[in-house]
Amino acid sequence: MRTTFAFSALGLAGALAAFAFAPSAHADALATGAPATNFTLADYAKGLGATTDFAFLPDGRMVATSKSGTVYVRKTDGTVVTAGNFAVNTISEQGLLGVAMHPSFATNKTVFFYYSADASVGGTDLDRHRVVSIVLKDDNTLDKTTEKILVRGLRGPQNHDGGGLAVGPDGKLYIGVGDTGCNSNVAPGGVIGNYFGTCLTNANGKILRINLDGTIPSDNPLAAVAAVTACGASCGNAISATTGAPRTEIWAWGFRNPWRFNFDAKTGLLWVGDVGEVTYEEVTIVQKGRHHGWPWREGFHGYPVTKCNDVTPSGDCVEPIYNCLHKGATATEDGDCTAITGGVVDDWCTFPTAFQNLYYFADSSAKKMWTLPANAARDGLASTKRTDFASFDNAPVSIRKGPDGALYVALLDGGRVVRIAAKTPTVCPGGTDAGTDTGPGTDTGPTTDTGTPGTDTGAPGTDTGTPGTDSSTPGTDGSTSGDGGTDDAGSSGGCGCTIPGTERPIFAWPAAAAAGALGILVRRRRR
């Protein structure tokens, strides 16, 4: 049976078409107890190569990226087609790492990508990563003649490549860039081996912010600053009194690898998962024009927060809202996470009450997903103790809220995106629910519903009129699915970190690739 979901806040008349979702044939599982009782987990798209990221388009299609540089489109009938390719360097964690939708995609067909440029297109260790815009044509292929480079000059000799992309509530494009993978190999408070994240003449180890055409917003924190703390020629050169002109794309600094982040639609705050080195992973709410601690602090630990005043512009280090130990848990801190995948915080109005107002995040090495409760203001956490939610047989590397209100997760080495949805969707405020129309939806009528505003006359998810027909303004249906949330178009990328000993990249190609086989060793990450 064919089911069509209608999403009024996305302006869809026909909306996201779906098939009967097939339960995953893999070892994916919801945590025992309430998660397994209340949710389903099923494959949504397969055959996506070494999947790194994905984003939903307004018409319900999904664009997915793979490490090899291939872009896929999952059409609304469930079939997957190849849209095109970028020439990428795939060493370590590099590749095609992130995708985001232009907010005016319906009219300009523009999509943003973050990729590690191959030498064949001018990529070097000093100019490796690029953020580009490009048109996706109606036939689901990329128009390569429209590719425009928006940001370049991002170093990429090793891992920590970033790749996060998100269009913020201000209509600007935010970009997560890693610190290049030059490591200290010590616990927080030790000798520093990489200063790129803390100096401001270098765009690595930062959150960047640009206009959608690549120009610099006039209100960026360094846009009118003449001199800032400069970087040395290499990552190990300590900062000094030397100053230089800033990279004016910089929005916030002091990160190790902010490769996954998400804007909260309620507050507009940016929640980022920042990969740690040898001791802690962390979740941070980003503050404009502030130093977020790395490399002096990791999680809640390390040098005093006043250490960040060594940098011009000065200010104490911004503390994270959560950290997790690489080793076993303590009485006050969670443990057993080594490669955080930043997730999504939302109302989750279609979910059972106990699963609303939560931050859903994952760890690509542990192959698990957890939740943390947000506080009432959603500017922090009500508790720093996580709860188990799901586990996967592949590395979770990107987490999105779908236009239907469900939770979607990209699995790197599985070439899959899975869908986690409530078994019995709840009705959202205003009468919106996660129900389904049984036929193609066509909006034909006046600007108001003929029934009681915001109230379904039947069971949640069932229209009492002609299937698929709504008498409201096109794109508005009193029984639509989800809360009309917008896909955060967040990012993807390498999530490695390093500890003394063997380098273990999360993105690495096996020897069989030389024979033409597409493979990836995701059970490894840089420690």
Cβ atoms 341, 364 nearer than 8 A:
yes
pLDDT at 496 exceeding the cut of 80: no
Q: CA triplet 136, 60, 414: central angle to 5 degrees?
A: 85
Residue 232 and residue 229: Cα distance in Å, rounded?
10
Mean pLDDT within 170-193:
92
Q: What is the mean pLDDT of the chain?
A: 83
Beta-bridge partner residues of 177: 206
pLDDT at 180 exceeding the cut of 90: yes
318-322, 408-412, 424-428, 477-481: least confident range: 477-481
Res. 21 pLDDT band, cuts 50 70 90? low
CB atoms within 10 A of CB 349: 22
pLDDT winner (highest mean) among 300-314, 459-473, 484-498: 300-314
Task: Give 70-77's long-range contacts (Cβ < 8 A, gap of 24+).
Answer: 70/96, 71/96, 71/99, 71/113, 71/142, 72/45, 72/47, 72/48, 73/136, 73/140, 74/44, 74/45, 74/417, 75/140, 76/16, 76/17, 76/18, 77/17, 77/19
CATH of the domain at 9: 2.120.10.30
Residue 293 lies in a domain: yes
Residue 252 lies in a domain: yes
Res. 489 pLDDT band, cuts 50 70 90? very low
Q: What's the chain's length in residues?
A: 527
Cβ atoms 326, 280 nearer than 8 A:
yes
Mean pLDDT within 319-328:
97
184-188, 362-366, 403-407, 495-499: least confident range: 495-499
What is the pLDDT, as a whole number, of residue 466?
A: 40
What is the pLDDT, as a whole number, of residue 434?
A: 47
Res. 24 pLDDT band, cuts 50 70 90? low
Res. 147 pLDDT band, cuts 50 70 90? very high
Res. 91 pLDDT band, cuts 50 70 90? very high
Residue 454 lies in a domain: no
Q: Name which of 230, 238, 274, 283 is nearest 256 in CA terms.
A: 274
What is the pLDDT, as a whole number, of residue 428?
A: 87
Q: How far is CA 54 from CA 31, 164, 297, 363, in A?
A: 24, 11, 31, 18
Q: Name which of 69, 146, 134 is nearest 101 in CA terms.
A: 134
Write the pLDDT tens digit of every residue in 498-510.
333 333 344 444 3
pLDDT at 314 exceeding the cut of 90: yes
What is the pLDDT, as a whole number, of residue 62?
A: 98
Res. 241 pLDDT band, cuts 50 70 90? confident
- Position 481, amino acid: S
What is the pLDDT, as a whole number, of residue 25?
A: 66
Residue 93 and residue 215: Cα distance in Å, rounded?
28
User: Where in the sequence is the domain holding 356, given as residue range(s)?
Assistant: 3-102+110-119+130-156+168-310+338-433+479-515
Mean pLDDT within 243-268:
97
pLDDT at 456 exceeding the cut of 60: no
DSSP-derived 3-state class of residue 127: strand
Strand arrangement, sheet containing 96-101? 96-101, 110-116, 129-136, 142-154
Write the pLDDT tens digit of every residue in 426-452.
888 875 444 444 444 444 444 444 444
* Strands 469-470 and 442-443, bridge-based pairing: parallel
CB atoms within 10 A of CB 257: 36
Write the pLDDT tens digit of every residue in 58-86.
999 999 999 999 999 999 999 999 999 99
% of the chain beyond a pLDDT of 90: 72
Give the phi and the psi of residue 389 in degrees, each rounded to 5: -125, -45
Residue 130 and residue 112: Cα distance in Å, rounded?
10
Mean pLDDT within 44-59:
97
Residue 384 lies in a domain: yes
Mean pLDDT within 316-328:
97
% of the chain beyond a pLDDT of 70: 77
- DSSP state, residue 11: T
Res. 455 pLDDT band, cuts 50 70 90? very low
What is the pLDDT, as a whole number, of residue 26?
A: 75
Write the pLDDT tens digit of every residue in 372-415.
999 999 999 999 999 999 999 999 999 999 999 999 999 998 89
Mean pLDDT within 307-311:
95
Residue 446 lies in a domain: no
Residue 137 lies in a domain: yes
Cβ atoms 162, 95 nearer than 8 A:
no
Q: Number of structural domains, the chain?
A: 1
Residue 193 lies in a domain: yes
Element (H, E) at 38: helix 34-38
Burial of 37 (0-12, 13-18, 19+ CB in 10 A): exposed
Q: CA triplet 414, 147, 126: central angle to 5 degrees?
A: 75
Write the pLDDT tens digit of every residue in 334-354.
999 999 999 999 999 999 999
Residue 382 and residue 365: Cα distance in Å, rounded?
26
Mean pLDDT within 226-234:
93
Task: Please give the structure tokens belonging to residue 336.
Answer: 């057993």
Residue 331 lies in a domain: no
